[in-house]
Structure 1
Amino acid sequence: MTNNHAPRTPSGRPCISHSGSPAEPQITLRSPAELADALPYMLGFHPTDSLVLVAVHGEGGRFGGRLRLGIPPSPEEWEDTARQVAECLVQGSERRAGKPDGIIVFLCQDPGAGESGQRVMTRLRPLAQRIRLACGALDVPVLEALCLSAGRYWSYCCPDERCCPAEGTVLAAGGTSVAAAAATFAGLRIRGSLRELEGRLAPLRGPVAAEMERALDRAAAALVPKILDGATRQEVGAETVTLARTLMRRLTLAPPVEGGPCADDWDDALLGHDEAAALILGLQDRETRDIAAEWMEDEEAAPALRLWRALARRCVGAYGEHAAAPLTLAGWVSWSTGDEPTARIAFGLALQADAEYRFAQLLHHACNEGIDPEGLRACLRAERKRREPGSKRRSAVRPPGRREPKPARRDPRRTARSDR
């Protein structure tokens, strides 16, 4: 498929440009190699096991909305997936910037055991074709479809072996291409790989996970009856907020020397199992969680983000659904401080933990729609001010209305999660 409106290079390929705003430097991409190299800068991370669609608008070929999801493992799911992602990207683009003039498709997957990158490309070709057909049915052509695997890329659209050989083309070393230099100059930053970013929020494993689950059992036995009792629920909320502030001060006074996973190990060592368990259970209350969401800026943001990440890692075993609260808080702080790629990952993981978690649903949708988080920040600031001593509308941690009880099949240790 071709796009008659997109400008083209002398070789006949579409010339695509990316610019976040008219004031920012423009990045012009003229080949599959430059598109492949620019992908991590468009997303903010290196995608792994991902299907990525990018909308292209106007005669200048400006990049618009982006959509990423994991590649469905079963080919039986590919036709429905192709239709859904095409509709989602086109409809979302129509709401924000008008119908796209084209779409760029990326299929990113590392080879499995005994598999080559070329074999991955061949195996995923039917998925690429289904996406091209789904986009064409919406009258939006696929300008380019690339497979990235084993350090190489292949084009599903170009039949010319002089530029797209059957064995694939080696990707440029990270950060060495002209496109990478232009992206860096434009302020686009790569935060690592998707696998690494998700790993920082993944549950602990091994003996430490077993110890943590026992601590959660103890906390559930002690706190769940209080949380379900309106008379003592306010006390639990106040204790949870006090404990969270105590742990944030501890993290602030003990900054990690290194970043990434080493920093996570450092933070994990600073939190006791029983402390973390009490805080995880306490955050299942909606009002308490909303107070915690107020710590999203200035000097509170960094220790709050470290704490929410650490708590998400402590939601192990039967308490996996409890991770929705700290994951959503981690996503909210990331979004509030300008890190949208990490925020989307955290929101997505929160919804994997609990697809019905309303707070994550709302924030994920707002972040994906490009809504300015300042509106929510202003509301949280106002609520915080109302609780200050002397305020006529001062509020405490109020017991919210009860939801209908969950089905009996749910583990009774989870009944504290009565508000979303």
Structure 2
Amino acid sequence: MEVKVTLRGPGELADALPYLLGFQPTDSLVLVALHGEHGRFGGRLRVSLPENPADWSVSAGHLAECLVRNSTRRGGHPDAVVVFLCQDPSEGERPSDVMERLRPLAQRLRVACGELDVPVVEALCVSAGRWWSYCLPHRAPSPAEGTALPPPGSTAMAATAAYAGLPTPGSLRDIEARLRPAAVRDHQREIALDIACAEVLPRMLADNRVEETRRRTLGLARAALERLRAVPRLDDAVRSDEQDDALLADDEAATVILGLQDKAARDRAAEWAEPGQADAAVRLWRALARRCVGPYQEHAVAPLTLTGWVAWSTGDEAEARVALRMALDLDPNYTFARLLHTSVNEGLDPELLRRTLRQERRKRVLGRAATRRGPTGAAGRGPDPRAPRDRRARTRR
């Protein structure tokens, strides 16, 4: 069922942004492509706000080019763009100060898009529950204190989302918090990772033990997955994550984290995205990402990427984008995360990758079965005594 909603004015446009992204953006720069006479929403791009004003011109040009290129590849050259700059005030700063501080960035984005023949029809600053337009004509300027966003649930977009059964968007900070270690350093978990590193790494580097290490990694991960499946997820995200953390022993989690640094083990773990497994799998990968403390923060790339994959495969594009972006922030060259991030942003069907993983698993299972059987029948049994005599003779020869 296709549901359409018409947005009237910049206030409703600002209110609609969390529904377009799937979360409440914070410290974010968002570009949304518009198509056709009535401004149908197309591709969207969200990045963290560039901190250094000296980089704004280069960043604006790069982001405008990315949006136009990707939108053209997916659904045609955009006819216009809407810009959102979202940031809450820092200590001692007023929301209107945020708006004025970001005004030059908005202007650079307008120029960069205009140079690509895509006009910016609206540029909004959203801060502390208020919005300002950088595009209103001088005869109708935004009030200095901004305009309050509509009350939650009172707009056409909110009503349409409720009618379609979509959840109320959470905040970007809340999604990120579920994937990051606690701010307080956990020395016990760090010690467990030290021990696992000393034990697992030499086995991963030894050709004759790497497959054994993969099996151990996946065995421990599978056991943890089954424990999570046996305990229902709680509705409260914080309590649910605490419950999941309590189901994982430090040494067990550390061994799995180190083992997932092997790409073959990670790819086999990615197969756990089928219905019935996916919910427990994404809980497991989140919990492992949260365990990557201290000097092991970069080891979170693998569980973050797996989180992004399972979230995408179950239709949660918001968490998928956040998890994959966090993985790429840690390692911009991590191939699996880059491929997934591109696939999510280009609107590909995750079933294509799920089908490939099924095929790889089938090949692996058949290969193991063939190895067990060996060249002369069932493993270790030699020729089949029930076979005709001439066939047994040929086998002996």
Asked if residue 139 in structure 1 is aligned to residue 117 in structure 2, the reply is: yes
- Matched AA of 2:93: E
Q: Which residue of 2 aligns with 1:254?
A: 231
Deviation at 1:188, TM superposition (A): 4.2
User: Per-residue CA shift, 1:36-90, capped at 9, x if unaligned?
Assistant: 1100000000000000000000112100000000111111111111111111101
CA contact 1:386–1:392 (8 Å) conserved in 2: no
- Matched AA of 1:212: R
Q: Aligned to 2:26, what secondary structure does the other structure show?
A: coil
Asked if residue 223 in structure 1 is aligned to residue 205 in structure 2, the reply is: no
Q: Aligned to 2:210, what secondary structure does the other structure show?
A: helix
Cα distance change, pair 271–41 in 1 and its aligned pair in 2 (3 A): same
Cα distance change, pair 179–206 in 1 and its aligned pair in 2 (3 A): closer
Cα distance change, pair 393–302 in 1 and its aligned pair in 2 (3 A): farther
Asked if residue 46 in structure 1 is aligned to residue 24 in structure 2, the reply is: yes
Asked if residue 384 in structure 1 is aligned to residue 353 in structure 2, the reply is: no
CA contact 1:386–1:394 (8 Å) conserved in 2: no
User: Alignment identity in percent?
Assistant: 56
- Structure with the higher fraction of residues in helix conformation: 2
Q: Aligned to 1:258, what secondary structure does the other structure show?
A: coil
Q: Aligned to 2:197, what secondary structure does the other structure show?
A: helix
Q: Which residue of 2 aligns with 1:72?
A: 50
Deviation at 1:172, TM superposition (A): 1.1
Q: Which residue of 1 aligns with 2:286?
A: 309
Q: Aligned to 1:195, what secondary structure does the other structure show?
A: helix
Measured in 2, the distance between the counterparts of 1:64 and 1:184 equals 21
Q: Which residue of 2 aligns with 1:202?
A: 180
Asked if residue 83 in structure 1 is aligned to residue 84 in structure 2, the reply is: no
Q: Aligned to 2:3, what secondary structure does the other structure show?
A: coil
Q: How many residues align?
A: 372
CA contact 1:51–1:69 (8 Å) conserved in 2: yes
CA contact 1:40–1:47 (8 Å) conserved in 2: yes
Measured in 1, the distance between the counterparts of 2:166 and 2:113 equals 28
Question: Which stretch of the first structure deviates more once superposed, 357-366 or 161-170?
Answer: 161-170
Measured in 2, the distance between the counterparts of 1:279 and 1:341 equals 26
Alignment of 1:88-107 (within 5 A): 88-107=66-85
Q: Which residue of 1 aligns with 2:326?
A: 349
Measured in 2, the distance between the counterparts of 1:393 and 1:181 equals 58
- For residue 167 of structure 1, the aligned residue among 145, 149, 164 is 145
CA contact 1:335–1:373 (8 Å) conserved in 2: yes
TM-score (norm 1): 0.85
CA RMSD, Structure 1 to Structure 2 (Å):
1.7
Measured in 2, the distance between the counterparts of 1:211 and 1:61 equals 54
Q: Which residue of 2 aligns with 1:415?
A: none
Cα distance change, pair 133–187 in 1 and its aligned pair in 2 (3 A): farther
- Unaligned regions of 5+ residues in structure 1, if any? 1-22, 396-420
Measured in 2, the distance between the counterparts of 1:356 and 1:393 equals 36
- Matched AA of 1:50: S
- For residue 279 of structure 1, the aligned residue among 256, 263, 266 is 256
- Unaligned regions of 5+ residues in structure 2, if any? 373-397
Question: Which stretch of the first structure deviates more once superposed, 367-376 or 154-163?
Answer: 154-163
User: Per-residue CA shift, 1:285-325, capped at 9, x if unaligned?
Assistant: 11111110000021111111110000000011111111010
Q: Aligned to 1:53, what secondary structure does the other structure show?
A: strand
Q: Aligned to 1:367, what secondary structure does the other structure show?
A: helix
Deviation at 1:178, TM superposition (A): 2.1
TM-score (norm 2): 0.90
Measured in 1, the distance between the counterparts of 2:31 and 2:277 equals 35
Measured in 2, the distance between the counterparts of 1:66 and 1:59 equals 18
Larger-Rg structure: 2
Asked if residue 24 in structure 1 is aligned to residue 7 in structure 2, the reply is: no
Measured in 2, the distance between the counterparts of 1:394 and 1:350 equals 37
- Matched AA of 1:311: L
Deviation at 1:246, TM superposition (A): 0.5
